[in-house]
Amino acid sequence: MLVYGATGRAGSLVVEKALAQGWAVYAFVRNPNRLSAELRANARLTVVQGNLNDAAAIALSVKQAQPHAIVDASSAVPASANQNQANDADRPLVVRATVAALADDARLADCVLLIVGGQLIPEPGGAINSWSAWLLALLLRTVVARKAWRDAEEMLRWCFYQSDPRFRFIYARMGYMVEEPTRGTLIPEPTENNIQNGPASYCDVADAFCRLAADPDRAWERKPIFFNYAKI
C-alpha cells in the first residue's frame, strides 16, 4: 500500500492500521520526521520523501512501490484554500500523475486508488446535504478558491466519466471526523439520498479504508460513498 499524506491525521492512522493488518506500506511524506519513531522502525514501512505538488516525485513513488492499493489521504479541501494547513496537495495533479504512472507500468487493473474526499466537493451529480456545508462550499467556490475548486470538480468528472475504464478508484465523501476511540465498524453506503449520520472516528475511518483496499468483491470501485456505522 502506498499512502499519500501519511503524516496527516487520517493518513498516519491508515499507515498504522495497514501495518497491523500485514500490508507492506510505502509512506509518501514531505517531512519524514513527522512520522513517529515507532512507525519508522517498522521493517515493513518504507518512507518516500517528496511533495504532492511534484508529478515526477509522485510517479517515482508509484513505480518504486508497485502498490496493490494507494490511499490519497491528502486534504480534501482545494489546495489554494488550504495554505494554512500542513498539506497543500494539488489533488488533480496527484490523481493524474498516479494514473499516468500506473498506466506506464501496465498496472491500472492491479491497483485501486482510494480518495479521501469531503462533503464540500460532491461527486458529479451529487448533492451537499447540509445547509452549513453548502454555505461554506459556496464561499470557497465563489470567493476563496475559485480556480482550485474548478480544478477539483474537473478532476472528479475526469475520474468518473473520462478516465480509462481500467482505472480503479473509490471516492469516499467524509463528513465530520472526530478524535475518539473506536465506535464500531464503519460500512460504505452509496451517496445518493444519503449522508454521513453523525461524526466518524478517525481510527474507524482508517480501518474502513484498509478493508476497502483489500475488498475482493471490488463492489465500491468507481462509485462515490459515505461511511456510516453499522446498525446494531
The mean pLDDT value of the chain amounts to 88
Q: What's the confidence (pLDDT) of residue 83? A: 42
The residue whose grid cell reads 480503479 is 168
Complete edge-to-edge strand list for the sheet that includes strand 69-72: 45-49, 25-29, 2-4, 69-72, 112-118, 168-174, 224-229, 186-190
**82 pLDDT tier (thresholds 50, 70, 90):** very low
Work out the average pLDDT over 39-56. Answer: 94
On whether the CB atoms of residues 170 and 117 are closer than 8 A, the answer is: no
Q: What's the confidence (pLDDT) of residue 219? A: 93
Whole-prediction pTM: 0.90
Q: Is the pLDDT of residue 80 over 50?
A: no
Cα(first)–Cα(last) distance of the chain, in Å?
31
Question: Rounded to an integer, what distance in angstroms lies between the CA atom of residue 141 and that of residue 50?
Answer: 29
* CATH placement of domain 2-229: 3.40.50.720
On whether the CB atoms of residues 9 and 75 are closer than 8 A, the answer is: no
C-alpha cell at 58: 509522485
Q: Who has greater pLDDT, 111 or 126?
A: 111
**90 pLDDT tier (thresholds 50, 70, 90):** confident
What are the domain boundaries of the chain? 2-229
pLDDT tens per residue across span 2-20:
999 999 889 999 999 999 9
C-alpha cell at 231: 446498525
On whether the CB atoms of residues 73 and 8 are closer than 8 A, the answer is: yes
pLDDT tens per residue across span 129-156:
777 777 877 887 787 677 777 888 889 9
The residue whose grid cell reads 495533479 is 93
Provide, rounded to the nearest whole percent, the portion of the chain with pLDDT above 70. Answer: 92
Helix (H), strand (E) at residue 47: strand 45-49
**128 pLDDT tier (thresholds 50, 70, 90):** confident
Residue 217: CB partners within 8 Å, gap ≥ 6? none
- CA–centroid distance for 186 within its chain: 16
N residues, the chain: 232
**81 pLDDT tier (thresholds 50, 70, 90):** very low
β pairing state of 25-29 and 112-118: unpaired
Work out the average pLDDT over 55-81. Answer: 83
C-alpha cell at 100: 499516468
C-alpha cell at 104: 506506464
Work out the average pLDDT over 191-211. Answer: 88
b/e sequence 167-205, b meaning 16+ C-beta within 10 Å: bbbbbbbbbebeeeeeeeebebeebeeebbeeebbbbbb
Question: Rounded to an integer, what distance in angstroms lies between the CA atom of residue 117 and that of residue 56?
Answer: 23
Q: Is the pLDDT of residue 79 over 60?
A: no
C-alpha cell at 70: 494507494
- Read off φ and ψ for residue 227, nearest 5 degrees: -110, 135
**78 pLDDT tier (thresholds 50, 70, 90):** very low
Question: Rounded to an integer, what distance in angstroms lies between the CA atom of residue 33 and that of residue 172?
Answer: 28
Helix (H), strand (E) at residue 172: strand 168-174
Q: Who has greater pLDDT, 198 or 3?
A: 3
